[in-house]
């Protein structure tokens, strides 16, 4: 339930569906396991787990969703070896060259033949909609995974206009200034990790881990013109994270004090615990997102 990454999207218009209406529309793409010859399947499942059937969990104007993915694991080396064997047989028996188009057809045939025997791997991607603050948060480090969830949501409800947030001040320049001038905002503390990049597409990259980010070692790279692309931080001793120049929040870790606030709920009441954890987590994430934008001058018009 506790998100590990945050990709935030700003709603460009009010969200008018109720939790019940949204759940009804998500039903059209509820999850079904992969068929024998299907490489990938994804769809909506109950975010509170098997104990609940609701595809949308609502609390304080926030709607929690969960996308389940199942994909067949078919190693490329297996396909490649079988393809080369098949090509060799054809070329040997028929005395001719097998060209690209025919190789692709053979490859597709091999994949379809192997899929029913392949192992499956499943994963879940959580997201929540904050209807009051007009944010949509996806727990995904990859932009591709987040877009996959967004695209399916749009397919279910017809339209879901969101935009990546834009800020007035360049995040990379601001984070670089924090290190150069040692003037980090008071409610944040530095971690021990950063990524520095030279300007330009061909610029070099330096990754620092487990070091004092205000040390001379890091200062040398900054004085040479490198800019901060990622920076590890902690906020109000509640959340630690790696902040990227694209405003993606990675490797979130919530403080033990925050996560223990619901310890009085019996472990046997799993749904109630998940509900309470979601309330704590979503409050912290929405607050953190608003604070992150303020660090960079607020949202650009």
Structure tokens at 62: 């926030």
Is 98 inside any structural domain?
yes
pLDDT at 92: 84
> Do residues 144 and 26 share a domain?
yes
Asked if the model's pLDDT at residue 22 lies above 70, the reply is yes
DSSP 111: H
Determine the pLDDT at residue 135.
96
Residue 267 clears pLDDT 90, i.e. is over it: no
- Mean pLDDT in the chain? 90
Is 284 inside a domain boundary? Answer: yes
206/229 same-domain check: yes
Is residue 171 over pLDDT 90?
Answer: yes
**pLDDT value at 271 more than 90:** no
Task: Average the pLDDT over 28-49 and give the result.
Answer: 90
Please indicate, yes or no, whether residues 183 and 225 belong to a single structural domain of this protein: yes
Residues 67 and 80 grouped into a single domain? no
Residues 196, 265: one domain? yes
The whole domain housing 157 covers: 7-73+118-163
Rounded to two decimals, the pTM is 0.85
* 67 plus 179 within the same structural domain: no
pLDDT value at 209 more than 80: yes
At residue 268, the pLDDT reads 63
Q: Is the pLDDT of residue 244 over 80?
A: yes
Mean pLDDT of 283-293: 94
Identify whether 108 is part of a domain. yes
Is the CA virtual torsion 227, 231, 236, 237 positive or negative? Answer: negative
Evaluate whether residue 300 is within a structural domain: no
250 torsion bin: left (phi>0), alpha (psi -120 to 50), beta (else): beta
Domain closes at, from 100, 135, 163: 163
Q: Is 223 inside a domain boundary?
A: yes
Give percent of the chain with pLDDT exceeding 90. Answer: 63
Q: Is the pLDDT of residue 228 over 90?
A: yes
Label residue 161 by pLDDT band (50, 70, 90): very high
Distance CA 139, CA 282 (A): 12
CA separation for the pair 271, 279 (Å, rounded): 12
Give per-residue pLDDT as tens, 109-157: 887 887 777 788 899 999 999 999 999 999 998 899 999 999 999 999 9
Instruction: Give domain status of residue 1, yes or no.
Output: no
Q: Answer yes or no: do 112 and 225 share one domain.
A: no
One domain for residues 53 and 81? no
Distance CA 250, CA 263 (A): 26
User: Is the same domain home to 263 and 200?
Assistant: yes
Does 271 lie in the same domain as 182? yes
Pair (109, 155) in one structural domain: no
Lowest mean pLDDT across 27-36, 37-46, 47-56, 212-221 = 47-56
Task: Write out pLDDT tens, residues 60-110.
Answer: 899 999 999 998 877 788 878 888 888 888 888 888 888 888 888 888 888
Residue whose token pair is 């994949």: 111
Total number of domains in the chain: 3
Locus of tokens 């890091």 = 218
Report percent pLDDT > 70 for the chain: 99
Picking from 86-95, 190-199, 221-230, 249-258, which range would have the lowest pLDDT averaged per residue? 86-95
């Amino acid at each position: 339930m506790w998100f590990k990454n945050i990709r935030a999207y700003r709603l460009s218009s009010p969200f008018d569906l109720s939790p019940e209406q949204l759940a009804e529309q998500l039903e059209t793409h509820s999850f079904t396991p992969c068929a024998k010859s299907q490489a990938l399947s994804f769809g909506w499942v109950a975010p509170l787990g098997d104990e609940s059937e609701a595809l949308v969990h609502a609390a304080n104007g926030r709607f929690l969703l969960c996308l389940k993915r199942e994909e067949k694991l078919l190693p490329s080396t297996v396909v490649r070896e079988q393809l080369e064997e098949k090509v060799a047989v054809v070329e040997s028996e028929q005395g001719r060259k097998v060209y690209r188009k025919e190789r692709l057809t053979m490859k597709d045939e091999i994949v379809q033949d192997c899929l029913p025997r392949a192992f499956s791997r499943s994963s879940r991607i959580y997201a929540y909609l904050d209807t009051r603050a007009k944010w949509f948060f996806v727990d995904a480090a990859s932009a591709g995974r987040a877009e996959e969830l967004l695209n399916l949501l749009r397919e279910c409800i017809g339209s879901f206009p969101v935009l990546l947030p834009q800020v007035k001040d360049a995040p990379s320049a601001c984070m670089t200034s924090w290190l150069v001038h040692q003037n980090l905002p008071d409610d944040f503390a530095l971690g021990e990790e950063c990524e520095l990049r030279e300007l330009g597409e061909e610029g070099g990259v330096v990754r620092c881990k487990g070091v004092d980010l205000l040390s001379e070692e890091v200062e040398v790279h900054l004085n040479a013109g490198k800019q901060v692309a990622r920076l590890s931080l902690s906020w109000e001793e509640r959340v630690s994270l790696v902040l990227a120049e694209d405003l993606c929040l990675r490797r979130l870790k919530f403080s033990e004090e925050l996560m223990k606030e619901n310890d009085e709920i019996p472990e046997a009441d799993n749904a109630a615990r998940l509900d309470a954890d979601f309330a704590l987590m979503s409050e912290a994430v929405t607050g953190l997102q608003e604070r992150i934008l303020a660090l960079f001058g607020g949202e650009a018009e």
